[in-house]
A and B are shown apart, each in its own frame.
Chain A
Amino acid sequence: MTVDLTQFHDAFFEESFEALDSMEAALLKLDIGAPEPELINTIFRVAHSIKGGSATFGFSDIASFTHSLETLLDELRSGGMQVAPVISELLLKSVDVMRDMLRSTQAKQPLDMQRMAGLQFDLECAIAQKNSTPAPAVIAAPAPAITAPTGHTLGTLAAARWEITFRPYRELFARGNDPLRMMRELAELGDLTVHVDTSALPSFAELNAQECYLAWKLDLSGNVPEDAIKQVFEWAEGDCDLELRLKGVAPADTATAMAAATPTASAGAGALAGPTPVVSTSDAAIADAILSGKPPIAEETRHEAPTPAVAAIAPALTAVKEPKSDAPISAVGDSGSIRVSVEKIDELMNTVGELVITQAMLSQLGAALEGPNAEKLRAGLAQLERNTRELQESVMRVRMLPISFVFSRFPRMVRDLAQRLGKQIDLKLTGEQTELDKTVLEKIGDPLVHLVRNSIDHGIELPETRAAAGKPAAGTVHLDACHRGGNIAVEVSDDGNGLDVDRILAKARSRGHVGPNDVLTDEQIHELIFLPGFSTADKATDLSGRGVGMDVVRRNVQELGGKIELRSERGRGSSFIITLPLTLAIVDGQSVAVGNETYIIPLISIVESMRLKETSISRLSGHDEVFSFRGDYLPIIRLHELFGVEPRTRALHEGLVVIAEGDGRRVGLFVDDLLGQQQVVIKSLEVNYGRVEGVSGATILGDGSVALILDVTGIIHAVSMRAAA
């Protein structure tokens, strides 16, 4: 039977890209000279898995390249080679090349063979150089299966013992797996005793050298968590039969005795122990014993009940175990996740949205009911509301991803930029675990890249300049994310030179954005950098002048329903704060009444609401109206005029104004009344009808009527265009 492997391609690419990201992150953390073994392992595993996958799917060029990479990494891992800066650079380049190769392969485009061959040659040279110099023979000679019991015993209890049966399938080698590597890793975890089963070996003539005929039974003692063992065999999953059995916890002296018995590794099936007595309920009992500190019960005494999943006991063991070596075994356990397509989640989200609307309708109906059962109905409806809200939140959480997905690209970018510009930069990332909607996450990447690039290019000074100003030579760029109210705030700050207000003002004057005699506050000058095409860069470096200005950043953020603010202090640095909604699916809104219509104004745009006194209103030439607000004059936009609705009142002092902010400008929106604040589910107008200026979407209210959600920035834009016309 032939299996169509193409169906797995997408998963392979997706996983490989993710793996490359983690490889890159690990590489950047790698300490030259004294690398953390676990980091090298992580890097190695990525190369290994990509090699295995690409070989399986017939991407031979990628497999060949990753093979060279893997060889080099293996040398690093075994200590045969040192992590020198040049090697680290080489590995980072390899990540880029692999990413490109995978992308091209995914898009069915030809590979950049020249680049790949060049780098592969460099890799081979690095390996060859090592081979030509006699390296110290430090292949972490794992004790011949037997060492004295480690000191990490649990009181009088020695370590638990794992019995591992590992029967590779014939094609294990072809998938890029090598049992030797697994044994080496296991031997690092604890005391390993190896019994090989050679019974399946054919005659020499019949032997296919590329196939695996050997099988093993392994005893691993030491406080080894199940996850750590599974991780060793992770890449062989599906290419072997693997059985893990916890053989219980022996008192320390027994463990010694066990360990002292030389394994008679005679060839043949005889070397494999007979069927193991079922480790039945004693597993749990042993775990209990460990936890309570009581002596364990000999396993042979109780093997009546069916075996509970060994996994069940593993957490208990992990809880009391301490890592074997000082370097913590970062048990990056598989958190048990599944891949679900975004469409499915969107569908779910949509259905839940409908449910919220239905529930709101029922609540309104219920509130008006009278009768003997009305109270009960209302209690039931209250519960329905609670459950619906929880359901909605849960579904929204499914779409949430930590912002580290975006942040993770910065260490590399900052490193490269700093190198190119001759600047020293420390990148600080905080709040990486802050979660936000996947759609928002995808769209926030580019604006953030622009801001970080700006900070490095324009903000942080050269080391000499900084030293002269009494600052540390290395500048700091800080990315922070946190939840603030119902929003998420992402801040990009630096301790560089801050904005040069004089230069910005001069530039704005020369371009006619600002009149020659206008006096502007610092905040107003800061706003100027958001003007389209505005740049103070004297000459365009390859960083600036990419056609993406701060105006695009602001527009992108606004499209996400967010806003961007800027704080800057001359000589001390600047910081950009982006405030975003957690999700694009619902919005916190203020509902306002205009005539018989209800509109929703997103809370994020609202500064405050007030009733105007007649004295504070002024009329300018034509019929432009303004009112004074904290020393400023703000234009009034009458929503009833904008939308052509018959209002309850046209007298400004009889209605209310909602002071709203967008695009750095404030306006007063004149409405009849405020109705209340509520979360509303956004229905796209573009999808269901068409784009309408000044409206970002619509929602269905509890009574079944439709309310438009206002886009304040759009309204300000439309009104100012009309005024200019």
Chain B
Amino acid sequence: MGAPHRTHLPPNVSRGGGAFALAAECTVAAAESLKTGLAKLLNHSSIVTLDISAVQRIDTAGLQVIATFIRERESHGRKVQWRGAAPAVSTATELLGLSAVLKLPTPATQAVETTP
């Protein structure tokens, strides 16, 4: 037996095109599925939008997947942008020193970018 499944939490969802919504749980247990989800967008030709508004928990493993994704896309000149805000993500990014890699919007710029 294992932990009861938490059905109330949405899974990682690819929203078609270049949009990807991260799940509420982006921790080590979900890191592999996060990676699988992002892999489909790795070579997406236009801008990829990562929607973090649902994220409630994230850990180093989760952020590492995202950081690797962004770094690899940027090395090929492909952009990633953010949608939504999640305190868990911004705090974790800062604490792990990954701000420069993830380039999360500051609250001021965020309003502009999240406007569709």
Contacts and interface: CB of A to CB of B under 8 A. Distances in A.
B64 A213 contact: yes
A132 interface: yes
Interface string A238-269: 00000000000000000000000001111100
Interface string A100-123: 000000000000010001001100
Nearest to B65: A209
A577 B3 CA distance: 49
Interface stretch (B14-22, B34-42, B44-52, B108-116): B34-42
A194 B87 contact: no
A207 interface: yes
A187 B69 CA distance: 27
Given A187-B95, A265-B97, A178 B59 contact: yes
Interface string B58-79: 1111011101110110000000
Given A209-B65, A212-B60, A68 B3 contact: yes
Interface stretch (A134-142, A401-409, A651-659, A698-706): A134-142
Given A120-B4, A210-B61, A204 B69 contact: yes
A184 B97 contact: no
A137 B87 CA distance: 7
A201 B4 CA distance: 33
A196 B96 contact: yes
A297 interface: no
A604 B21 CA distance: 77
B47 to A, nearest CB: 17
B34 A209 contact: yes
Nearest to A121: B4
Nearest to B69: A204
Interface string A574-616: 0000000000000000000000000000000000000000000
A209 B27 CA distance: 10
B31 interface: yes
A195 B97 contact: yes
B88 to A, nearest CB: 6
Contact of B61 (A120, A131, A173, A263): A173
B42 A204 contact: yes
A453 interface: no
Given A212-B61, A212-B64, A213-B64, A194 B4 contact: no
B62 to A, nearest CB: 9
B87 to A, nearest CB: 4
Contact of A142 (B3, B39, B91, B100): B91
Contact of B67 (A183, A198, A203): A198
Nearest to A114: B1
Interface residues of A, number: 49
B56 interface: yes
Nearest to B90: A141
A180 B71 contact: no
Contact of A265 (B42, B65, B100): B100
Nearest to B73: A204
B28 interface: yes
A209 B60 contact: no
A209 B4 contact: no
A117 B60 contact: no
A64 interface: yes
B81 interface: no
Nearest to B64: A214
Contacts of B80: none
Contact of B96 (A137, A141, A144, A180): A180
A64 B3 contact: yes
Nearest to B34: A209
A201 B96 contact: no
A410 interface: no
Interface string A667-710: 00000000000000000000000000000000000000000000
Contacts of A187: 95
20 contacts: A64-B1, A64-B3, A132-B8, A144-B94, A145-B94, A173-B60, A180-B92, A183-B96, A194-B96, A196-B101, A201-B71, A202-B68, A203-B68, A207-B35, A207-B64, A209-B34, A210-B31, A210-B61, A213-B64, A267-B100
Given A139-B88, A203-B68, 20 more contacts: A117-B1, A117-B4, A120-B3, A124-B6, A128-B8, A139-B87, A144-B94, A173-B61, A184-B95, A196-B98, A198-B67, A205-B42, A207-B35, A209-B61, A213-B68, A214-B96, A263-B97, A265-B100, A266-B100, A267-B71
